[in-house]
Chains A and B, each alone.
Chain A
Amino acid sequence: MIALRDLVIFAGLMALAAAVVASLFPAREGVSPVPACSDCALKLTGGYWIRQYGNYASLYLGTREAARYGWAYVDGRPLSVGESVGCDPMYLWVLNGIAYVSCNGNSPAFGREVGVLAPAAAVDISADSSGPGCTYTADVVSNVMNGTVVTLDVYNSYGELVYSASGAAPTSFTFSVPAAGTYRMHVYAPPLLDSWYTLYAGVQISGTKFVVYTGNNTQDLRPAVSLKVFDLTGFWERGYGSVVVYVDPGMRSFTLSAPTGAFADFLLAWEDCPNCDPTYGALYVDEVWRLTFTQSGPVLAHVFSQGGYWHKVYADGQLIWTWNMQGPKQTTYNGANPSIDVRFASQASAMDAEALFTKTCSWS
């Protein structure tokens, strides 16, 4: 009687014999062939390797070619022609006939990155002109969670560092530039972010019958120009203690000393008559005012008055100064807004002039 024991012994001996016979083959044959597929995932053990040829890649077991694919990639890198890669176990993904080999089991992803998931950092800048000077805010956000260190440097037009700060993103930097001018801002968080921005802090002037100078002007520009605006901000930025401004052909001058902590500074020289004074007479000195944008707002201050006609000086539409007539004699006007409107009215109405000074803070 044949017992179960005898069957087991017989099967064991047969399997042993099969294994011995298989191991005697010159190439180590696998126990089953590699399935042919165009989209599949395989785990191969027993000494498989892949070799790239000019227009195909071959998967070998020992010396026997097991399968052919379009091209072979190893850990995301395409193999060069003649290159071979083998590992045990070998993970093989076949997608659209292309073989992706991985030795550690990380599955390859089909599709390239177009930057949606890439590590990045970016800046949003906003400017505020309502407070003293110009206030800028730089919001830095990053999708890298381990606290990317962001540094922000601000340089003035002479290349001097005026503000510097750093912090871990996401963060926000707020700083105000004290004086009008052009600033360069550098925001960097290597290797994610390295950008330069230009900040414009200044006073925009619009109006009628006026010209802006950044130095002396002694020309007789009547009748087109009745108001000369001298922008002194640049002198104070360069560190002058005082300046002498020549305003008329008669070389009349005004000496002005540096204001402390001013954002911008202007001298306003106005002429009241289109033809009555000789060309080399006292021109553009009938009303002389100084407009200083201080940290608390614009301040309009009286410097000098003369002339035979009556004058009226308005600030923000309000009559503050009269000459040769009944009316207010206010020598200082403090503006409440970041902008101020200055208007000069003359008995000779052809010389009426108006200038609107608006503090502007912008960036690009």
Chain B
Amino acid sequence: MWSTAYGLIALAVVAFVVLYAASHAPSFASVNLADQLYYAKSQLESSLPSLPRTDKPAYFRVYSNIVRIEVANATYGNHSFPVELPLGYRLAAREENLLYEIYLDVESCRPVSLQGGGAAVLYAVELRQSVDVLPWLAVYYADVNAAAYYGQLYSLYRAWGRPPAVGLDLGAPLSKAEWALVYNATSGSDVLYVAAPPSSPYIVVEDYPLAIPLACPR
């Protein structure tokens, strides 16, 4: 009888010590920021074609995960049909320990002549990013003739009955474009300058795996 009581008391003491030690040991979990960043960007990448699109400046200034578009007339042969030109993005994804935000907006797009004598289209894209170091920013242009590309878009338009979006609804083979990222201390934002061939219908700014197509406003 007494020995059972001693046993119970001893058990209580052991339980106390074990619980005390367990609750005072540092609990540990590893945090993998690289995985979180990759997951945030790949999530955005997969939702990119289905994001809401707007041509109203106020909507683009207010809402997140939205694409700014301009509806323009494209021609294929003697057909004229509307297409959506993606001109700006406000994207955000939140992970456990990471806030990924990216803001892209085509400021201007104009033909220039290159030093070598060739012609190009120079995009100026405002770029803001929440993770300061853009690790491996890659910029591409759609390596396809615009006339052929718009021919494919026209068949999409015929099939869907609504304007297809350049770059978002139909991909094209990509080639590396020349680019420069310029920090503007006056406005506190970065401007990404991209030179693309005049025949290319759009460019792609890639923060791998997130690839964002941008077109030239008319």
Contacts and interface: CB of A to CB of B under 8 A. Distances in A.
B27 A110 contact: no
Q: Decide if the interface of chain B is mainly helix, strand, loop or mixed.
A: mixed
B33 interface: yes
Contact of A8 (B10, B26, B30): B10
A32 B25 CA distance: 6
Interface in A116-167: 116-117, 120-124, 139-143
A109 B59 contact: no
Contact of B24 (A30, A94, A96, A123): A30
B4 interface: yes
B128 A31 contact: no
Interface of B: 3-4, 6-7, 9-11, 13-14, 17-18, 20-21, 23-33, 56-59, 61-64, 90-92, 94-103, 128-132
Contacts of B98: 109-111
A19 interface: yes
A44 B14 contact: no
Nearest to B60: A122
Q: Sorted from nearest, which 10 A-B pairs have the closest CB atoms?
A: A12-B10, A122-B58, A122-B61, A111-B130, A124-B58, A111-B99, A114-B128, A15-B17, A109-B99, A116-B101
Interface stretch (A33-41, A217-225, A232-240, A352-360): A33-41
A46 interface: yes
Contacts of B130: 111-114, 116
A139 B58 CA distance: 8
A166 to B, nearest CB: 17
A325 interface: no
Interface of A: 5, 8-9, 11-13, 15-16, 18-19, 30-35, 37, 39-46, 93-96, 107-117, 120-124, 139-143
Contacts of B17: 12, 15-16, 18-19
Contacts of A19: 17, 20
A30 to B, nearest CB: 6
